[in-house]
Amino acid sequence: MKKIAISQLNTLFAAIAARKALYIPADDGAGAAKFTLWAEGVQLSDKLNTVRSAKDLFFPQVEQLVNFKMEGTKLEIIENRDATEPFVVFGVRACDAASFDILDRVFLSDPVDTFYQTRRENGVVITLACSRPAETCFCGTFGIDATNPAGDITCWMDGENLYWRANTEKGEALTATLDLTDCDGSAVTAQQEAVREILRKLPLNGLDFSDFKDQKLMDVFNSPKWAALSESCLGCGTCTFVCPTCQCYDVQDFDNGREVRRFRCWDSCMYSDFTMMAHGTNRPTQKERFRQRFMHKLVYFPNNNDGIFGCVGCGRCLQKCPIHMNIVKVAKALKEDM
Amino acid sequence: MQERLKQKAIELLQNGTADRILGWKAGEFFYDLTPAVFTSKEQIEKDFVFNVFAGANLSKYLIAESRKGGKVAAFIKPCDSYSFQQLLKEHRILRDNVYVVGVQCDGMCDVAKLGCEGILGVQEDGESLTVDTLYGKKTVKKADAIADRCATCKSKKIVVFDELIGEQGEETEADRFGEVAKLEAMTPEERFDFWRGELSRCIRCNACRNVCPACSCEKCVFDNANSGVRNKAAADSFEENMFHIIRAFHVTGRCTDCGECSRVCPQNIPLHLLNRKLIKDINELYGPYQAGADMDTKPPLTNFTVDDCEPSIVHERGGQ
Amino acid sequence: MQRVGVFVCWCGSNIAATVDVEKVAEVLAKEPGVVFSTNYQYMCSQAGQEMIQESIRKYNLTGVVICSCSPRMHENTFRKTCEKAGLNPYMVEIANIREQCSWIHKDKDTATEKAIILGRAAIAKVHLNAPLTAGTSPVKKRALVIGGGIAGIQTALDIADAGFDVDIVEKEPTIGGKMTQIDKTFPTLDCAACILTPKMVDAAQNERIHIYSYSEVSSVRGFVGNFKVTIKKKARFVDETKCTGCGLCTEKCPQKKVPNLFNLGLDNRRAIYIPFAQAVPKVATIDADYCTMLKSGKCGVCSKVCTAGAIDYQQKDAFIEQEYGAIVVATGFNPIKLDKYDEFAYSQSPDVVTSLEFERLMNAAGPTGGTLLRPSDGQHPHTIVFVQCVGSRCDDSKGKPYCSKICCMYTAKHAMLCREKYPDTDVYVFYIDVRTPGKNFDEFYRRAVEEYGVHYVKGMVGKVVPENGKLKVQASDLIGNQQLHIDADMVVLAAAIEPDKSARPLATMLTASMDTNDFFTEAHPKLRPVESPTAGIFLSGACQGPKDIPETVAQASAAAAKVIGLLNKDHLICNPCTATPDEMMCNGCSSCEKVCPYGAITYIDKEFRGPNRTTLIRRVAQVNPAVCQGCGACTVACPSGAMDLKGFSNKQIMAEVDAICR
Amino acid sequence: MRNDPLIPMLGVVTMIRTDTPDVKTFRVTGIDGVKPFQHIPGQCAMLSIPGVGEALFSITSSPTEKDYLDFSIKKCGCVTTWLHQMEVGQQITIRGPYGNGFPVDTELAGKDLLFIAGGIGLAPLHSVINYCRHYRDRYGKIDIVYGSRSMADLVDFPEIIDEWCKEDGINVHLTIDNPQPEWDGHVGFVPNYVKELNFDTSKTVLMCGPPIMIKFTLAGLMELGFEKSQVYTTFELKMKCALGKCGRCNIGDKYVCKDGPVFRLDQMDELPDEY
Amino acid sequence: MPVNEEFKPTIVAFCCNWCSYAGADLSGTNRLQYPANVKIIRIPCSCRLNPMFILRAFQRGADGVILCGCHPGDCHYTTGNYYARRRMTLLFSMLDFLGIERERTRVEWVSAAEGAKFAATMNEFSATIHKLGPNRRLEDLRCRKD
């Protein structure tokens, strides 16, 4: 365990940024935090979490795949993916850190998505333990310890110091380049105890999804609850786009008249055109689309991934859904019938 | 208020006025109400909620609800009633299938304005709200927590209803256009920087569009591969601008200024300013017009006079 | 994607001198979908056209781009050329490289570069063109004339003359209109009745003309060639087929205190009446507002005296449905109400009259039997003041902004007639300008001044005050630069004229546009002055703008000629570049309908297949291609983009934009 | 630079054959003239015209064709319309193969096979049929039931008549929906025809066609005594990545592009009815 | 913004078929010069101009967009340009509100007889755009020509 005084935070950031691009949560001027490229003057936000998750840095909303040039019947493929520089992301919370496991299972399974892979290899994740969880937090449901997040390096922060623990080789390598003081873990343990006390008091503490594991897929799918749950869903993509684990994407071409740029961008299974084909869609109403999103997170994904749910309990969708419908309400409603 | 609404909802179901009730349902916390359709007394007694966080505009749901057969009763606040009437005017809602209960509104609260972390519960008592949080109790004046859009409310009048709960209100004198005027006074460079700062946060989640009662197209041009403007994610600043310009233009003269777009934006972009700018322009250039205020007045973009101002007024109007 | 042929024209040296035509053809050959590209001296020549046709066949072209002069010049030529070679004429696009390129640029490189870009835009567009076929719609060979004044009568006579059936709908009990009230006409001073009544009789006797008198148009549906009109025949409580027009009832009717509107209320008539002796049809009408029988059920004198048994107190409004190919609007005009002009004491003194009232006072068939007498005391007036432009050329809200056009001339006529009949009268005319642009008009006016000694004073009357049986007129003489005070016996006001009040609701029914003064708008102020922009609606007479009689008659005949031209066709060929809604995307919001100047858009409730085997009814727009003229206003009003315009579709225009900005 | 599975390779169209008014068959090779990749019958490939779009198509040719891949494609959307307008020599992009394919060397080996196809549904089966014909000794009897709206809509008609029908051990049963003067074969819908033919239940069925045909044919097969576990079908959904990641073709816990497109009908019973 | 000496603006002119396109033709017939970077797109009426077309032009690299139509009151379709006038006024005002240079967009009424006005307008507009420099605030970087 190492530490550095809070007053030295900027020095620490400067030291990291001297070698690699550094992203930290900073206030965006509109009352929220976002991962911002650190430069002199960028201050660490005191918000619990960012609106957009750390997923953005590994799976950006829009990503250039390849270019094409066409002339007559001739076609040329021009690889022009954006170069990925090594980078460090600081201040990732336990929930987002856990989301990388889920994303890895999708993108790093065969065939490997090399765009994501490159970013994962290039990125060092420095997590920051939570000290003031919000009422919408429920990472505990998924066995995530908000006081002891994963990542290449784990940090804790109290009023005076930032405590630092390298977890991986990548983390060790970065640590070696920095000027940190050795310390014992007593301050951290004390903070963890205090925070765990708060975590126990969270309104969603005790929320348990394990019932879903014993359910037959088709039973959940055919639950009569879906109609009422989805009734007020607007079909927007807010939940999807703030979600750290949602990874559906679309591939589109943009023709500027001289060349065609193929890019991928986030997509949402909540959108009416998600599965639209020339002759219709197989999920014609919002009920089917809504069900798909939650079935995927609660049933389909765990079925294929050793029982791991496609949710990390970060609570973003609870905060941001325009009509306040979310996975907690869905899970609770479905559990009534189990 | 909540009890009166509940009683009314039950009464309307029991006396056969309505088969379904569109209202708000309780959530996990005090503030996360969800619009919901109730069909039984039991459901209403258990889950029906109306409080200072019942901000969602229910009028857009009635496009679909009024076509589901049977009759639906809906609780409509003043600003919702403008949206409702605008949708009637555009033949989107089948009036005969809706029973409108107008609900007096004194302004809704914005949970963010409570300035609290870890909210466990909110107690409404009189003019103040007592917030119980993980980190202690706090009392907030209701007036301080009122949503921005409600602070500049255009009208407390319910323009269409079958019956009323509470008092009928009046149009207000609130200064809706102060913020717009402030922007107008800036230099184009400043305005550009302002909007770049705001719009660059857009994640194209479409919440603003999907919640907007004026954006009720069967198929939005941005979802339509044939429209030439389809885009799913803003690839660059142009597409960020494009989406919001076209959206604002499409609701010009149809936007009732309900403010839902800004309420739902997960990135807190003040989208309503774009619409208000256009409303201000319309009022100044073509005479006062309030979308949804009545069924007859021709919307400004499908109307004209021979001596309308020329587009060059944008250059001549002065300002920055 | 089409198989495109590109044809670059030199236009002799017109294009070739500043544009490297060979290079243009060469570069455009590399554009996507271009399978053939060439250049030639004169594409519009016989040889050029043959080359195009040959290439269409040889290369199996599905699209043709011609880089040449303006499409306004030869688009039709090339469309026909291609059509002859089996290509749909709308698969042709023109790149205007002469008027908009070679002729405005001097530098050859610049002009060549621009020509290439214009060609590229045309190619991009033609790829998205679709073959269009003009539809046809049948023409109902019958015309409706709304209004039976001199305009309507003339139009009807001309149309009937050409062999088509015409119906006249007249809201008054008789046709004839304003001209029946006029005494003499300028500048010839012949008697109005003498020239009008024979025409009225002609109309009545013409077997192709049917007159619906005392009737109104109550609804209009349909479109050019196929209007469906409902005519309301108001109850006149007299059976037209039985009434012989003997007039006995109008003498025996005990209700004598009914203001005679034909004489503008200057005298009274009975509750049952025939407006005037030469009325057509000469049939009595009961004025339900005054008839005691109809009001209280007691009386029945007319019924008793009528030997023909024509009186029918039970008569109801009747509705007649009729189909027409064309509709002529001839609703005419009225003088404006003068209640806002208190300064002229119109409502205070009966001796202040309007020119039309003066007309009745001069008329042999009028209330005074043609002797000019003051309405107040029946004395001969010795000093008469005429005031011009009362309510005309006004910039305030009281009057009309326009010139009523006829007042200068009829006032000269009135003044002249006064002086001729009663040389002892002093006649003053106060005017802003005297406008006499017409054949023999100025001569007429000069005669009034020079031969008849009418006092023309440039200046305005400020005030008229009735005092001791006289009218004190205060006026300014702008030329003499003095204030005038005249003690007049009569003051005649040349009231502005305005369109008849029935015109506005009618315009709505016809979806014909009007200007802010409620005059009907013509399709083009210069080139299509007798047509409404709404196809199949024609304009005759003062409903389009103030007119005198010869102008009215000329326009009436012109409108008739247009109608005849239309009715002569068995089918109308529609403009194929029309708006079309995509029903799947239509919201049914009516935005498009509101901006359509032709009323081409209607809505229907249509059943659609919904998700999960449900059906749903949606309100969707329908465009009548026979009516749509293809302006595209609706396409922009439509928020969902459901409405698009064939030939100028969103995608086509955007493709052009892309090609230009590439 | 890494080779990402989303980045396609170039291909060139070397032959275009018009099969029916709305179906054409395209032959694709790499630009070096070599077959782009090996595949299993029933697998698919992503074809794309940059700027127009990318779409997944069944490979129609048998893996035993050494030099090329064939695709029989019906004109229905954006990409297919463009493909139909294309001329020989056009370069396109191709990536694949995707999906599981039919278990030709395992479950199907040694079995009597019954192919049932409707309309363009013959395309994926075509590959299997020709594979089985090539390795004729590995399979038992082969029956092919193929139906279409009309004679003109029968894909690969010349090949069926000139080759399949003439081969021993293959029974071809053709049918069209409505009578036509020049047609002397069977008239009627595929499901009824299958019942009429009264196949014995020892066969393994490979079926592809419009959903409505599959539904009724399956019912017919059940009536004849077939088990769902004897029936394979293949289906298509909207796909973007074909890598099992983009989420579009996710039905239940399966990704059609990766876990399908070939499913045994008893497996499909465990999936939500979202296809 | 530095004015690039090499800067050749792209200007898209939407002209209604009946008046302004004919006016443009007339200016050609009279050999009145205006810069070649003005490219005309013919539309049936000024009311056909969808704001999306204007944005599309800016996206694809246009530096200025001008709409020409019949003079108010002279519309071939009687009312089209009145609607266009309102639409463009509000669109331009919104673009201005977003900080897009207001000089980049313009509406001018040009009759079929006003060939000289057409040329003069184009010269003037082109000069304005030239002074303004390349469109950077409403451009799509993916369309930028390097």
Please tell me which of B115-129, C597-611, D34-48 the model is most confident about, judged by mean pLDDT: D34-48
Domain holding C300, by residue range, is 248-305
What is the number of structural domains in chain C?
A: 5
**Could you tell me if residue A51 is inside a domain?**
yes
**Could you tell me if residue C523 is inside a domain?**
no
Q: Is the pLDDT of residue E1 over 70?
A: no
Residue A86 is predicted with a pLDDT of: 94
Q: Are residues B225 and B247 in the same domain?
A: yes
- Dihedral sign computed on CA atoms, order A275, A276, A282, A285: positive
Q: Give C46-97 as a 3 state SS string.
A: HHHHHHHHHHHHHCCCCEEEEEECCHHHHHHHHHHHHHHCCCCHHHEEEEEC
Say how many residues make up chain E: 146
Q: Is the pLDDT of residue E54 over 50?
A: yes
**Could you tell me if residue C519 is inside a domain?**
no
Give me the numbers of helices (H) and strands (E) for chain D, helices first please. Answer: 7, 15
**Chain E contact for A135 (CB, 8 A cutoff):** no
Give the pairing type, strands C142-146 and C165-169. Answer: parallel
**Could you tell me if residue A185 is inside a domain?**
yes
Which tokens is C435 given? Answer: 């406008």
- Kindly report, residue by residue over D182-226, the tens digit of the pLDDT: 998 999 999 999 999 989 899 999 999 988 899 899 999 999 999
**Could you tell me if residue D179 is inside a domain?**
yes
Q: Are residues D155 and D86 in the same domain?
A: no
Say how many residues make up chain C: 662
What is the number of structural domains in chain A?
A: 2
Domain holding D214, by residue range, is 113-234+258-268
Contact (CB<8Å) E142/A254: yes
Place of tokens 């003079």: E71
**Could you tell me if residue A72 is inside a domain?**
no
**Could you tell me if residue C120 is inside a domain?**
yes
Q: Is the pLDDT of residue C568 over 50?
A: yes
Contact (CB<8Å) A299/D92: no
Q: How far apart are the first and last CA of chain E?
A: 18
**Mean pLDDT for chain B overall:** 93
CATH at residue D35:
2.40.30.10
Containing D268, the helix (H) or strand (E) segment is helix D265-268
Q: Are residues D81 and D156 in the same domain?
A: no
**Could you tell me if residue B46 is inside a domain?**
yes
Query: Which of C509, C544, C567 corresponds to the end of one domain?
Result: C567
Which tokens is E125 given? Answer: 């507009």
**Could you tell me if residue A224 is inside a domain?**
yes
Contact (CB<8Å) A62/B233: yes
Nearest chain A Cα distance for residue D31, angstroms: 10
Residue B318 is predicted with a pLDDT of: 58
Nearest chain B Cα distance for residue E15, angstroms: 16
Residue B4 is predicted with a pLDDT of: 94
**Could you tell me if residue A131 is inside a domain?**
yes
**Could you tell me if residue C441 is inside a domain?**
yes
Q: Are residues A183 and A44 in the same domain?
A: yes
Determine phi and psi for A22, rounding to 5 degrees. -120, 130
**What is the phi-psi region of residue C511: left when phi exceeds 0, alpha when psi lies from -120 to 50, beta otherwise?**
left
Q: Give A236-292 as a 3 state SS string.
A: CCHHHHHCCCCCCEEEEEEECCCCEEEEEEECCCCCCCCCEECCEECCCCHHHHHHH
**Chain A contact for E31 (CB, 8 A cutoff):** no
Nearest chain B Cα distance for residue C544, angstroms: 18
Enumerate the residues of chain A whose CB falls inside 8 A of the CB of residue C611: 284-285
Q: Indicate the residue of B92, B299, B305 with minimum beta-carbon distance to C587.
A: B92
Q: Are residues A191 and A220 in the same domain?
A: no
List chains adjacent to chain E, taking adjacency as at least 3 C-beta pairs closer than 8 Å: A, B, C
**Chain B contact for A204 (CB, 8 A cutoff):** yes
- Kindly report, residue by residue over C632-641, the tens digit of the pLDDT: 999 999 999 9
Contact (CB<8Å) D250/A221: no
What is d(CA A231, CA A240) in angstroms, rounded to the nearest whole number? 18
- Dihedral sign computed on CA atoms, order B228, B229, B234, B240: positive
Enumerate the residues of chain D whose CB falls inside 8 A of the CB of residue A260: 50-51
Q: From E6, E44, E27, select the one nearest E117 (Cα to Cα).
A: E27
Which tokens is B145 given? Answer: 């927590």
Q: Are residues C550 and C605 in the same domain?
A: no
Nearest chain C Cα distance for residue B220, angstroms: 6
- Kindly report, residue by residue over C583-592, the tens digit of the pLDDT: 999 999 999 9
Contact (CB<8Å) A258/E142: no
Residue B124 is predicted with a pLDDT of: 84
Q: Is the pLDDT of residue D1 over 60?
A: no
CA closest to A267 among chain B residues: B232
- Kindly report, residue by residue over D92-122, the tens digit of the pLDDT: 999 989 999 999 999 999 999 999 999 999 9
**Mean pLDDT for chain C overall:** 94
Contact (CB<8Å) C521/E78: yes
Strands (E), C459-570: 461-467, 470-477, 482-488, 490-495, 497-499, 537-539
Q: Are residues D229 and D121 in the same domain?
A: yes
Q: Is the pLDDT of residue C211 over 80?
A: yes
Q: From B51, B105, B103, B50, select the one nearest B75 (Cα to Cα).
A: B103
Q: Are residues D125 and D50 in the same domain?
A: no
Confidence class for position D156, pLDDT limits 50, 70, 90: confident
Q: At what angle do helices E80-97 and B237-250 cross, to 10 degrees?
A: 130
What is d(CA E145, CA B102) in angstroms, rounded to the nearest whole number? 57
Nearest chain E Cα distance for residue C331, angstroms: 21
- Kindly report, residue by residue over B86-144, the tens digit of the pLDDT: 999 999 999 999 999 999 999 999 999 998 889 988 888 888 999 999 999 999 999 99
Q: From B77, B259, B245, select the one nearest B165 (Cα to Cα).
A: B77
Residues 6+ apart with CB under 8 A from B126: none
CA dist list (Å): B121 to A208, B28, B136:
22, 10, 11
Q: Are residues B161 and B187 in the same domain?
A: no
Domain holding B191, by residue range, is 178-316
Residue E3 is predicted with a pLDDT of: 47
Q: Indicate the residue of A72, A256, A284 with minimum beta-carbon distance to C30.
A: A72
What is d(CA C597, CA C385) in angstroms, rounded to the nearest whole number? 46
Enumerate the residues of chain E whose CB falls inside 8 A of the CB of residue A262: none
Residues of chain A short of pLDDT 50, as ranges, are none
**Could you tell me if residue A68 is inside a domain?**
no
> Best mutation site among B204, B239, B260 for testing chain A: the one with the most A CBs within 10 Å?
B204
What is the ipTM, given to two decimal places?
0.93
Let me know: does D102 contact D205? Beta carbons within 8 Å: no
List chains adjacent to chain D, taking adjacency as at least 3 C-beta pairs closer than 8 Å: A
- 3-state secondary structure (DSSP) of residue D153: helix
Residues 6+ apart with CB under 8 A from C132: C88, C90, C576, C577, C646, C647
- Kindly report, residue by residue over B44-83, the tens digit of the pLDDT: 999 999 999 999 999 999 999 999 989 999 999 999 999 9
**Chain C contact for A257 (CB, 8 A cutoff):** yes
D and E touch per CB criterion (3+ pairs under 8 A): no
**Could you tell me if residue D225 is inside a domain?**
yes
Contact (CB<8Å) C32/A72: yes
**Could you tell me if residue C311 is inside a domain?**
no
- 3-state secondary structure (DSSP) of residue B265: coil
Let me know: does A322 contact B207? Beta carbons within 8 Å: yes
**Could you tell me if residue A43 is inside a domain?**
yes
**Other Cβ atoms closer than 10 A to D17:** 13
CATH at residue C17:
3.40.50
Q: Are residues B17 and B161 in the same domain?
A: yes
Containing C556, the helix (H) or strand (E) segment is helix C549-567
Q: Are residues D42 and D152 in the same domain?
A: no
CA atoms within 13 A on the CB side of C610: 13
**Could you tell me if residue A67 is inside a domain?**
no
C and A touch per CB criterion (3+ pairs under 8 A): yes
Contact (CB<8Å) A73/D247: no
Let me know: does C615 contact C609? Beta carbons within 8 Å: yes
Q: Are residues D72 and D117 in the same domain?
A: no
Q: Are residues B203 and B310 in the same domain?
A: yes
Give the pairing type, strands D170-176 and D142-148. Answer: parallel
Containing C605, the helix (H) or strand (E) segment is strand C601-609
Share of chain E above pLDDT 90, in %: 82
**What is the phi-psi region of residue C287: left when phi exceeds 0, alpha when psi lies from -120 to 50, beta otherwise?**
beta
Share of chain D above pLDDT 90, in %: 72
Nearest chain E Cα distance for residue C635, angstroms: 7
Mean pLDDT of C369-385: 92
**Could you tell me if residue C136 is inside a domain?**
no
Residues 6+ apart with CB under 8 A from D159: none
Residue E5 is predicted with a pLDDT of: 60
What is d(CA C622, CA C645) in angstroms, rounded to the nearest whole number? 13
Q: Are residues D93 and D125 in the same domain?
A: no
Give me the numbers of helices (H) and strands (E) for chain C, helices first please. Answer: 18, 34
What is d(CA B62, CA B86) in angstroms, rounded to the nearest whole number? 12
What is d(CA B211, CA B208) in angstroms, rounded to the nearest whole number? 5
Mean pLDDT of C526-545: 90
- 3-state secondary structure (DSSP) of residue A196: helix
- Kindly report, residue by residue over C83-98, the tens digit of the pLDDT: 999 999 999 999 999 9
Q: Are residues C484 and C345 in the same domain?
A: yes
Enumerate the residues of chain E whose CB falls inside 8 A of the CB of residue C662: 60-61
**Chain A contact for E39 (CB, 8 A cutoff):** no
What is the number of structural domains in chain B?
A: 3
Bridge partner residues of A4 (DSSP): A162
- 3-state secondary structure (DSSP) of residue D241: coil
- Residues 282-301 on B with a CB inside 8 Å of E are 282, 285-286, 300-301
What is d(CA C262, CA C239) in angstroms, rounded to the nearest whole number? 22
Q: Are residues A134 and A214 in the same domain?
A: no
Enumerate the residues of chain A whose CB falls inside 8 A of the CB of residue B33: 324
CA closest to A64 among chain B residues: B235
Enumerate the residues of chain E whose CB falls inside 8 A of the CB of residue C658: 56, 60
- Dihedral sign computed on CA atoms, order B151, B155, B160, B164: positive
**Could you tell me if residue C511 is inside a domain?**
no
Query: Which of A157, A174, A201 corresponds to the end of one domain?
Result: A201
Share of chain C above pLDDT 90, in %: 87
CA atoms within 13 A on the CB side of C429: 28
Residue C398 is predicted with a pLDDT of: 85
CATH at residue C204:
3.50.50.60
Determine phi and psi for C95, rounding to 5 degrees. -100, 120
Confidence class for position E2, pLDDT limits 50, 70, 90: very low
Give the pairing type, strands C579-581 and C165-169. Answer: unpaired
Q: Are residues C118 and C78 in the same domain?
A: yes
Contact (CB<8Å) A284/C612: yes
> Best mutation site among C612, C657, C660 for testing chain A: the one with the most A CBs within 10 Å?
C612
Place of tokens 């469906």: C228
**Chain E contact for A262 (CB, 8 A cutoff):** no
Q: Are residues B30 and B160 in the same domain?
A: yes
Residue B319 is predicted with a pLDDT of: 52
> Is there a cis peptide before residue D50, judged by omega within 30 degrees of 0?
no
**Other Cβ atoms closer than 10 A to C208:** 18
Q: Are residues D54 and D26 in the same domain?
A: yes
Q: Are residues B295 and B185 in the same domain?
A: yes
**Could you tell me if residue D39 is inside a domain?**
yes
Q: Are residues B15 and B135 in the same domain?
A: no
Q: Is the pLDDT of residue C475 over 50?
A: yes
> What pTM value is reported for the model?
0.84
**Buried b or exposed e, range C132-159, using 16+ CB within 10 angstroms:** beeeebebbbbbbbbbbbbbbbbbbbbb
Contact (CB<8Å) D247/A114: no
Residue A80 is predicted with a pLDDT of: 85
Residue E112 is predicted with a pLDDT of: 87
**Chain B contact for A297 (CB, 8 A cutoff):** no
Q: Is the pLDDT of residue C567 over 70?
A: yes
Domain holding A180, by residue range, is 2-60+81-201
What is the number of structural domains in chain E?
A: 1
Contact (CB<8Å) C611/A71: no
Bridge partner residues of D231 (DSSP): D205
Let me know: does A157 contact A3? Beta carbons within 8 Å: no
Contact (CB<8Å) C611/A70: no
- Kindly report, residue by residue over B244-280, the tens digit of the pLDDT: 999 999 999 999 999 999 999 999 999 999 999 999 9
